[in-house]
């Protein structure tokens, strides 16, 4: 499923105050492509993701889905804070979207169990979120998103709350899932190395109001593995990105501290 973001603007208003968060952003995510949205804090990355997901309306501009029949296609979102239901077990968290869609109980349990095995949580089906580590909870969130077979998968910094070792492991887990499932993915991150390792292309946003600074092809073949992060191509690409955004990242940090 292709996603086309066309001249999207978003202004937040509170009383008489108005803040332009995103200004005239356009880019395309091709069917089956993994695109990372990267930029400094407060540049409107999550705002754009929520607009694509239909959780926010743009102030102007539009989002189009190529090949969609009968309106907006099914999207699924993975959030930074896991967003699991604490009163539901792993099995019933993963099956939740299928339950909402009216899938019969037997079918949704079979599908949920399949995804639980895929993310390496077999044996934890009847545990509650409080009994899981952060990495395990995020795997439940990813399994829940994949379970509904979305046309577009939206991910809002899903690994940022994890410790460094778990984050590295989860990046490989996510790569494996996306390559196996062949999904169209729009992924928000502020981590340059993560964007370069996971994505096919990186959309660079300026500091607020977010505008497209550039769209860069990642010079790494698929499938990916951890050893690629030491390659000259990877190192050179991350340096190129940092050179493009470091001044704006510093300016954004100064604004937040003011």
CA distances for 99 relative to 102, 126, 129, 139, angstroms: 5, 17, 19, 19
The arithmetic mean of pLDDT across residues 4-22, rounded, is 92
pLDDT, position 179 = 80
Give how many domains the chain has, as a whole number: 1
Say if residues 58 and 10 touch (Cβ distance below 8 Å): yes
φ, ψ for residue 193, nearest 5 deg: -65, -40
Query: Is residue 76 in a domain?
Result: yes
Kindly state whether residue 258 falls inside one of the protein's structural domains.
no
Would residue 93 count as lying in a domain?
yes
Q: Region 201-219: what's the mean pLDDT?
A: 94
Strands 212-217 and 201-205: antiparallel
DSSP 8-state code for residue 30: -
Range of the domain at 181: 2-18+33-41+58-186+198-229
Does the pLDDT at position 109 exceed 90?
A: yes
In a domain, 253, yes or no: no
Predicted confidence band of residue 56 (pLDDT cuts 50, 70, 90): very high
pTM of the entire predicted model: 0.88
Q: What order of strands is seen across the sheet that includes strand 2-14? A: 17-29, 2-14, 60-66
pLDDT computed for residue 158 by the predictor: 86
**Res. 256: pLDDT tops 70:** no
Mean pLDDT, residues 178-204: 91
Q: Is residue 143 part of a domain?
A: yes
How much is the average pLDDT of 212-236?
94
221-231: pLDDT as tens digits: 999 999 999 99
Which pLDDT score, from 0 to 100, does residue 120 have?
A: 85
How far is residue 201's CA from residue 196's CA, in Å, rounded to a whole number? 8
Distance of CA 189 to the CA centre of its chain: 8
Average pLDDT, the chain: 89
- Tell me if 255 is assigned to some domain: no
Report the interhelical angle of 134-147 vs 105-118 (nearest 10°).
130
Say which CATH number the domain at 133 has. Answer: 3.40.50.300
Listed range (10-24, 59-73, 119-133) with the worst mean pLDDT: 59-73
Residue 7: inside a domain, yes or no? yes
Token pair 């395309």: residue: 28
Residue 100 falls inside a structural domain: yes
pLDDT over 80 at 138, yes or no: yes
């Amino acid at each position: 499923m292709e996603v086309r973001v066309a001249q999207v603007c978003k202004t937040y208003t509170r009383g008489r105050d108005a803040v332009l968060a995103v200004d005239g952003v356009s880019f395309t995510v091709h069917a089956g492509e993994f695109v990372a949205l990267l930029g400094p804090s407060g540049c409107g990355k999550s705002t754009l993701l929520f607009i694509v997901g239909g959780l926010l309306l743009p102030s102007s501009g539009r989002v189009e889905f190529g090949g969609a029949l009968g309106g907006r296609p099914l999207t699924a979102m993975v959030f930074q804070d896991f967003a699991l239901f604490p009163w539901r077990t792993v099995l019933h968290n993963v099956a939740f979207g299928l339950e909402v869609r009216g899938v019969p109980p037997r079918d949704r349990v079979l599908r949920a169990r399949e995804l639980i095995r895929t993310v390496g949580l077999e044996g934890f089906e009847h545990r509650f979120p409080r009994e899981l580590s952060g990495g395990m909870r995020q795997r439940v969130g990813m399994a829940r998103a994949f379970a509904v077979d979305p046309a577009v998968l939206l991910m809002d910094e899903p690994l940022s709350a994890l410790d460094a070792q778990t984050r590295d492991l989860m990046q490989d887990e996510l790569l494996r899932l996306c390559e196996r499932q062949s999904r169209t993915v729009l992924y928000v991150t502020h981590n340059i190395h993560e964007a370069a390792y996971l994505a096919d292309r990186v959309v660079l946003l300026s500091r607020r109001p977010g505008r497209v600074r550039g769209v860069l092809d990642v010079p790494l073949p698929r499938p990916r593995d951890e050893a690629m992060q030491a390659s000259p191509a990877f190192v050179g690409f991350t340096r190129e990105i940092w050179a493009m955004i470091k001044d704006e990242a510093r300016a954004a940090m100064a604004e937040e501290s003011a």
